Structure 1
Amino acid sequence: MAEPVQTKDLFAIKTLSQPSMAGETVFFLENRVDEETNTYIAELKGLDLRTRRQVRYGLPNQSISQYALAPDGSALLYLAQDAKKHVQIYIQPLTGGSPYALTALPDGVDSAQWRADSAGVYFTNTSYPQKKATKLPQPKAITRLPFQMNGEGVLREDGTHHLQYLAITGKMPKELLSRPDDFGLDAVDPSGRFLALSASPDPFNPKDFRTGTYLFEIATRNLTWITESQEHGEFIGAAFSEDGTGLLLWGTDNHAPNVAEHHIWYFDIEEQKLTDTAVNHHLEEGPGEIVADTQQKLSERMAQYITADYFLTPGFSHGRIALYEASTDGELREAVGGDRHVTDYFVGPDQHTVVFTYSDIETPSVLAVYDLISEDEKDLYNPNTSWENHHTISGAEAFTFKSDDDLTVEGWYMKPVGQAAEKKHPAILYIHGGPLAAFGYTFFHEMQVLTSAGYGVILINPRGSLSYGEDFAAGVIGAYGQGDYADLMNGLDDVLKRDKQIDPKKLYVCGGSYGGFMTNWVETHTDRFAAAVTMRSIANWVSMYGNSDIGYFFNAWELQGEWNAPIDPKKYWAFSPLAYVDKAKTPILILHSEEDHRCPIGQGEEFYTSLKLHDVETEFVRYPGSNHELSRSGFPNLRIDRMTRIMDWFGKH
């Protein structure tokens, strides 16, 4: 008999990521959440396509964060922690023999990529001066902005960032570049001439938000800024052509702060010319922007060449993430599509075999293969077959409706599983974060838990969401709580007409981040819901301006639609749910992480204090050692607690 999906299934579900291929072997990471250690585990595996036999790589008990196959197929490099919890580079020969540590750096390694001839590894790392051990508390002096980052806390200012090279038979790295500011190692030129780096052109200017792409010439160590022509540009290198004459970039000119579409750009190295291919136009963002809670350690690969002129790239459209075959001239053709979320991919050495991983609403993760010539597709491995067969998994009904201004808005309704759907039942309006994100055709463990508990779940992509084009994404700019609020309420009304079994007296609302802001807005603008849960929320844009790691620029972009606009306390307060707290009536649970630097816990504290003083039934739960990513990658036991509290609060009301 099939079981309902429960919170504890967080520990049973596995996901796959970072596929690659050499000969008849497909490599990938298999990710799981470990209950005993309360951590996340990623195992590096290889699947033999002929025998379907799997082999695990790496040392025992290692969890691997990133890996790469040598260009000649002779070995794997991977990143994992050493005994001192520092991330190091390990080499795993594929011709036999055990893996060995290539580095033993005291501050660890940040990222690594193979040299084109497989003879060595380029890597980045950050070093810090040695400090004398002391039992006395020490002050932290801050001179830069931003000075904090979610997941990191207050940023150190005494680090030096390095680009180094180390032969796989060597012991001493060779330093190629050293800077006081952070930078990314994005791509390696197959011809051996260049590396693509990404960095801020003015790193210590808090009003400069550009990310430039730089060509680093290995022989001369010269840096060439190839995106200088884009005044507000934000770019990363995606892939070099096989002959090293061109570089694909993933980026935006940011003509509209924070909502300008990301495209694939092409830089002709011989002609020194940068072109916007317009590929990905209306295919907003990459695989990480779809809202879900199961995927881990994705490669975030944005392009890979197939031929000299054609490449593969992911695109996000109407809740679907597909793979598109595209050209540097702007041609675009869907290759791997459907109502699903292609989570990761890799083009094999034959340039027509694509190994990829995908998820859909009822499937957590599958490894598959697709042939670009024959257009044949085949599933290779589903790590959750047994789990899926023993659980009742909810599907979703996609729908569209007309909101205010005759705007077409998309959503999904997930009915309670089993016979509960045929009886009067409660329903939850679940609001996503961002707002530049979107619900879509992907597996969401928490939503399955809620439908198994007897709730209908309503998922809506209001204006401000991704995957519907730039104008739709810009619909929330300078208008938070206006058209987006109307979209959510109109969508709720539409679902109530579609499913007469929903009890209108048992409607609930919840959301996190932007969804937490909107839940707070709902709390202070209507009493139609029986209860609410707000998570990692925003209640007061005035205090958010200075306390958040992004507040001083995000507020200007989102509430004013301008670069570096001066603080506008009156406008910020008008957009703040706290300003309308005297209208709040709905019982509300406030969940917040104590180390959230994106939407600081002070936001929850301010809202809780004001609600209590206005005699609104409320409870405030603080999660220690946790940041803004609690629901996706936080301590597993706290993720379980969070889901349980949401259902308990709604059950109580």
Structure 2
Amino acid sequence: MFKKASGDTMKEPVQAKDLFAIKTISQPQLTEDTVFFLENRVDEATNTYRAALKGMDLETHDRMRFAIPGQSVSQYEIAPDGEQLLYLAADDKQKTQIFIQPIYGGSPRQLTQLPDGVDQARWDADSTGVFFTSTRYPEPPKHHELPQPKVITRLPFLMNGQGVLREDGTHHLQYLPVTEKEPKDLLARPDDFSLDAVDPSGRFLALSASPDPFNPKDFRQGVYLFEIATKALTWITESQEHGSFSGVDFSEDGTGILLYGTDNHVPNVAENHIWFYDIEGETLTDTAVDHPLEEGPGEIVADTQQKLSGRAAQYVTADYFLASGFSHGRVSLYQASTTGELSEAVGGDRHITDFCVGPDQHTVAFTYSNFETPSVLAVCDLITEDEKDLYNPNTSWENHHAIGGAEEFTYQTGDGLTVEGWYMAPIGAAAAQKHPAILYVHGGPLAAYGYTFFHEMQTLVNAGYGVILINPRGSLGYGEDFAGGVIGAYGQGDYQDLMAGLDETLKRDPKIDPAKLYVCGGSYGGFMTNWIETHTDRFAAAVTMRSISNWVSMYGNSDIGYFFNAWELQGEWNAPIDPQLYWQFSPLAYVDQAKTPILVLHSEEDHRCPIGQGEEFYTSLKLHGVETAFVRYPGSNHELSRSGFPNLRIDRMQRIQDWFQKH
């Protein structure tokens, strides 16, 4: 039996509009006496996302604000000397530029004025200049207001959030001393690359890029050492045939570098680990080969966090580092060595969203979330293990709103797997009465629910619904065998896991009304909602979002289709197209079995699961007499529910509730 819901009914209910009230903390960084961070919010007046760069005195807890008033900061970095910082923000032409500011008194100033803006920026080793990347495009034609054709010669040619990829840009690595105005070109390439890390000894930069960028069948990402003095590039991950890596952090003496990534021995399933490259010995080692753990921030499903650094690891000493790791719905911090030792350093039932090791090598600043807390800034001493919360930007909001918790449970499937889930009971009187419940299927599938704040789920439990969150086979955080359980078997074992999880929840909470069960999901969760729609009628209504209905058309019109189909449905790197197999796994093939009233939500600029997937499903449902409606979101892509236009995010949440209320 589940316990009573934890929400306080005397408080205000959490509603969709609370999107504008909830704040999050990200990108913590430390000096000897101050912790810096971004404080993120959603601005109702401008319908945008804003981030303020702030600092907090570690002793007095006084907070201070940096950057030009009104600026929204996307990235920042403290200089190695601890005296100044750089940050990226839009200039008056809405192009991202580099700004620098003294930490202990002084105004920020704009360092760059590039016509096409800056992509990334990092301090050099001695705090006197900045390395940065940028992309340059040719001048538009004189009459550029006239429509112009888009010529495509490469694959992939689409990217969700960007649309058709331009082929006329050049990607540059540049260096600019803080006392000068004109940057120096260090590297120019026709393909995109990332500036990952700067060597504290001043010898190298770490760059990541595709080894064969215009080969549509090469999915590797390599890490390269760029020698600053000679501009020579050395590919240090070449030994891994299918490897995909990024650089993370150089050792203080510049003799080694931590990498984050996977050898991809199973396509799209192999765990990400922290790897160590010995620069002098020219050897690459998987530091977690003996530990079944998804290292790095993982892919925990939520809708609240913004502008996270994505940091996977950071050196503590010459031989030890701190890394994040994702397991059983929890993201924790682990202390590890370059020789393979690993132990949990900062854990608990929570989602550690970001972190940074301080210059004293034992203080860690981190941000975390859990089911009932959106975001907290905290510090921990790695030696004493003492932990202290420093700042919760939502204290007042939490005190005035009814926030529901979740209860973890596990169950056995028919074929012997142990599956984990959580149940969020409705808040208030509904929990003690017969009440409806929603099976909410996560995307991915290589993602997972866990101990993190989910605004949308809070709106649902406050509206009187129980919410069932299941991590079926294919989910992240339970080992490679579990993650690979869906490969070549979409809609099979994963479908059975979800139905068994629903049955287990009904058994544990007899107050759930079996006549008022609902199902919804997005992306892979949308595929699974479509599959459920066409394979059972036990639900009173369904909502499918950014879904897949037809793997055959998905192959060619998705930005990932031609390789994702091969990886997920065929389990191979470059399998030949197999329309019969794709159709076998397509919910559209079974649409004549659909009966449940279903709402189709799709973004018009979704290039991951293109809107055609929703169009095909809606058309077929309508022709088969199924009660349905189709909502199209303009100017929106696959990330609508997490980072789309705020007004449309609110509309989406409300429409889901309205559809279920109607049925």
**Fold equivalence (TM over 0.5):** yes
Task: Note the C-alpha offset of 1:49.
Answer: 1.8
Pairing 1:124–2:129 present: no
Instruction: Find 1:113's aligned residue among 105, 115, 122.
Output: 122
Which residue of structure 2 lines up, in the alignment, with residue 66 of structure 1? 75
Pairing 1:602–2:615 present: no
Output the amino acid matched with 2:70: N
Measured in 1, the distance between the counterparts of 2:573 and 2:383 equals 46
Which residue of structure 1 lines up, in the alignment, with residue 564 of structure 2? 554
Measured in 2, the distance between the counterparts of 1:176 and 1:74 equals 26
Measured in 2, the distance between the counterparts of 1:195 and 1:382 equals 36
Task: Note the C-alpha offset of 1:50.
Answer: 2.0
Measured in 2, the distance between the counterparts of 1:60 and 1:482 equals 54
What are the equivalent positions in structure 2 for 1:309-388 lying under 5 Å apart? 309-388=319-398
Measured in 2, the distance between the counterparts of 1:23 and 1:319 equals 33
Which residue of structure 1 lines up, in the alignment, with residue 95 of structure 2? 86
Q: Is the 8 A contact 1:231 1:253 kept in 2?
A: yes
Which residue of structure 1 lines up, in the alignment, with residue 622 of structure 2? 612
Measured in 1, the distance between the counterparts of 2:567 and 2:502 equals 29
- Encode CA deviations 1:27-55: one digit per residue, 9 max, x unaligned: 00000001110000000000112222111
What are the equivalent positions in structure 2 for 1:404-415 lying under 5 Å apart? 404-415=414-425
Output the amino acid matched with 1:239: D
Q: Secondary structure at the match of 2:317?
A: coil
Q: Is the 8 A contact 2:331 2:350 kept in 1?
A: yes
Instruction: Find 2:471's aligned residue among 461, 465, 472.
Output: 461
Which residue of structure 2 lines up, in the alignment, with residue 256 of structure 1? 266
Q: Secondary structure at the match of 1:448?
A: helix
Task: Note the C-alpha offset of 1:283.
Answer: 2.3
Pairing 1:40–2:49 present: yes
Instruction: Find 2:65's aligned residue among 56, 60, 67.
Output: 56
Give the stretch that moved more between structures: 467-476 or 52-61.
52-61
Measured in 2, the distance between the counterparts of 1:349 and 1:129 equals 43
Task: Note the C-alpha offset of 1:60.
Answer: 1.4
What are the equivalent positions in structure 2 for 1:132-531 lying under 5 Å apart? 132-134=141-143, 135-278=145-288, 281-287=291-297, 289-531=299-541
Measured in 1, the distance between the counterparts of 2:564 and 2:295 equals 18
Q: Secondary structure at the match of 1:644?
A: helix
Give the stretch that moved more between structures: 186-195 or 272-281.
272-281
Output the amino acid matched with 2:104: T
Between the aligned residues of both structures, percent identity stands at 79
Task: Note the C-alpha offset of 1:319.
Answer: 0.2
Q: Is the 8 A contact 2:425 2:431 kept in 1?
A: yes
- Encode CA deviations 1:377-408: one digit per residue, 9 max, x unaligned: 00000000000000110000000001131100
Measured in 1, the distance between the counterparts of 2:295 and 2:88 equals 26
Measured in 1, the distance between the counterparts of 2:578 and 2:38 equals 47
* Pair 383,279 (structure 1): closer, same or farther in 2 beyond 3 Å: farther
Q: Write out the 4+ residue segments of structure 1 that deviate beyond 2 Å after TM superposition.
A: 133-136, 279-283, 285-288
Output the amino acid matched with 2:194: G
Q: Is the 8 A contact 1:165 1:173 kept in 2?
A: yes
- Encode CA deviations 1:494-542: one digit per residue, 9 max, x unaligned: 0000000000000000000000000000000000000000000000000
Task: Note the C-alpha offset of 1:285.
Answer: 4.8
Task: Note the C-alpha offset of 1:300.
Answer: 0.5
Measured in 1, the distance between the counterparts of 2:86 and 2:653 equals 37
Measured in 1, the distance between the counterparts of 2:179 and 2:428 equals 60
Output the amino acid matched with 1:185: L
Instruction: Find 1:20's aligned residue among 9, 25, 29.
Output: 29
Output the amino acid matched with 1:480: Y
- Encode CA deviations 1:416-475: one digit per residue, 9 max, x unaligned: 011210000000000000000000000000000000000000000000000000000000
Q: Is the 8 A contact 1:282 1:317 kept in 2?
A: no
**In angstroms, what is the RMSD of aligned CA positions?**
0.8
Q: Secondary structure at the match of 2:483?
A: helix
Task: Note the C-alpha offset of 1:280.
Answer: 8.7
Q: Is the 8 A contact 1:68 1:76 kept in 2?
A: yes
Output the amino acid matched with 2:386: D
Q: Is the 8 A contact 1:279 1:332 kept in 2?
A: no
User: Structure 2: which 5+ runs fail to align?
Assistant: 1-9
Q: Is the 8 A contact 1:404 1:483 kept in 2?
A: no
Q: Is the 8 A contact 2:32 2:360 kept in 1?
A: no
Task: Note the C-alpha offset of 1:96.
Answer: 1.8
Give the stretch that moved more between structures: 125-134 or 474-483.
125-134
Measured in 2, the distance between the counterparts of 1:80 and 1:190 equals 25
Instruction: Find 1:568's aligned residue among 562, 569, 578.
Output: 578
Which residue of structure 1 lines up, in the alignment, with residue 546 of structure 2? 536
Measured in 2, the distance between the counterparts of 1:273 and 1:627 equals 41
Output the amino acid matched with 1:384: N
Task: Note the C-alpha offset of 1:133.
Answer: 3.6
Task: Note the C-alpha offset of 1:288.
Answer: 5.1
Task: Note the C-alpha offset of 1:24.
Answer: 1.3
Aligned residues: 653
Task: Note the C-alpha offset of 1:95.
Answer: 3.0
Q: Is the 8 A contact 1:307 1:351 kept in 2?
A: yes
Task: Note the C-alpha offset of 1:284.
Answer: 1.6
Measured in 2, the distance between the counterparts of 1:464 and 1:320 equals 17
Output the amino acid matched with 2:336: A
Task: Note the C-alpha offset of 1:286.
Answer: 2.9
TM-score for both structures, normalised by structure 2: 0.98
Output the amino acid matched with 1:503: D
Q: Secondary structure at the match of 2:288?
A: strand
Q: Secondary structure at the match of 2:415?
A: helix
- Encode CA deviations 1:331-390: one digit per residue, 9 max, x unaligned: 011011000000000000000000100000100000000000011000000000000000
Output the amino acid matched with 2:366: F
Measured in 2, the distance between the counterparts of 1:131 and 1:30 equals 37
TM-score for both structures, normalised by structure 1: 0.99
Task: Note the C-alpha offset of 1:137.
Answer: 1.4
Measured in 2, the distance between the counterparts of 1:387 and 1:139 equals 50
Task: Note the C-alpha offset of 1:136.
Answer: 2.3
Task: Note the C-alpha offset of 1:63.
Answer: 0.4
Q: Secondary structure at the match of 1:196?
A: strand
Give the stretch that moved more between structures: 375-384 or 48-57.
48-57
Task: Note the C-alpha offset of 1:132.
Answer: 1.5
Which residue of structure 1 lines up, in the alignment, with residue 7 of structure 2? none
Q: Secondary structure at the match of 1:491?
A: helix
Measured in 2, the distance between the counterparts of 1:68 and 1:432 equals 34
Q: Is the 8 A contact 1:238 1:247 kept in 2?
A: yes
Task: Note the C-alpha offset of 1:279.
Answer: 6.0
- Encode CA deviations 1:63-83: one digit per residue, 9 max, x unaligned: 000000011111110000011
Measured in 1, the distance between the counterparts of 2:176 and 2:42 equals 33
Measured in 2, the distance between the counterparts of 1:514 and 1:94 equals 45
Q: Secondary structure at the match of 2:180?
A: coil
Output the amino acid matched with 2:103: L
